[in-house]
């Protein structure tokens, strides 16, 4: 099982509730990811999207994060810009179309998370500006 057994049955309404339901040890990493994201994206709205913590700007998801028994992850949409910009730094991590997995037995890459979140803030701002034209 990859998630906390009680988490699979719950729908979360706040980030605090999500973190409180995390497995022991994972919760500390989630608190740290939240701190990094808030510092790098101070103008975003904190919410729950797809039952995980998300940060939005002008209705667009900037970044999400999640915790599992094997890893924590940073999720974002769209992904092409992030992967192109941070290709070398991301080579050390498992990735999917929309997530980077950070193994629990390694320290969180604070500087990388911060840089990706800041990149996404700018990417979303550019997208929102182009929509308004």
> pLDDT tens across 63-93, in order?
999 998 888 888 876 678 999 999 999 999 9
pLDDT given for residue 78 in this prediction? 61
**Strand-strand pairing, 45-49 and 60-67:** unpaired
Classify strands 52-57 and 94-95 as parallel, antiparallel or unpaired.
unpaired
* Sites in the chain below the pLDDT cut of 70: 1-8, 77-78
Structural domains in the chain?
7-132 (3.90.1150.200)
Per-residue model confidence (pLDDT) at position 8: 59
Q: How many CB atoms lie within 10 A of CB 56?
A: 17
Give ∠ CA 54-65-72 in degrees, rounded to 5.
Answer: 170
Q: Please give the pLDDT value at position 49.
A: 94
Q: Print burial letters for 24-40: b (CB count within 10 Å at least 16), e (below 16).
A: eebbebbebbbebbeeb
Whole-number pLDDT of residue 109? 96
């Amino acid at each position: 099982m990859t998630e906390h057994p009680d988490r699979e049955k719950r729908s979360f309404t706040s980030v605090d509730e999500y973190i409180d339901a995390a497995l022991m040890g994972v919760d500390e990493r989630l608190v740290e990811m939240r701190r990094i994201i808030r510092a790098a994206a101070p103008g975003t709205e904190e919410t729950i999207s797809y039952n995980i913590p998300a940060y939005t700007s002008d209705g667009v998801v900037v970044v999400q994060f999640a915790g599992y028994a094997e890893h924590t992850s940073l999720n974002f949409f769209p992904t092409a810009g992030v992967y192109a910009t941070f290709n070398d730094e991301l080579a050390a991590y498992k990735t999917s179309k929309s997530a980077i997995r950070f193994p629990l037995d390694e320290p969180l890459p604070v500087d990388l998370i911060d840089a990706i979140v800041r990149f996404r803030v700018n990417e979303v701002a550019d997208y929102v500006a182009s929509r308004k034209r």
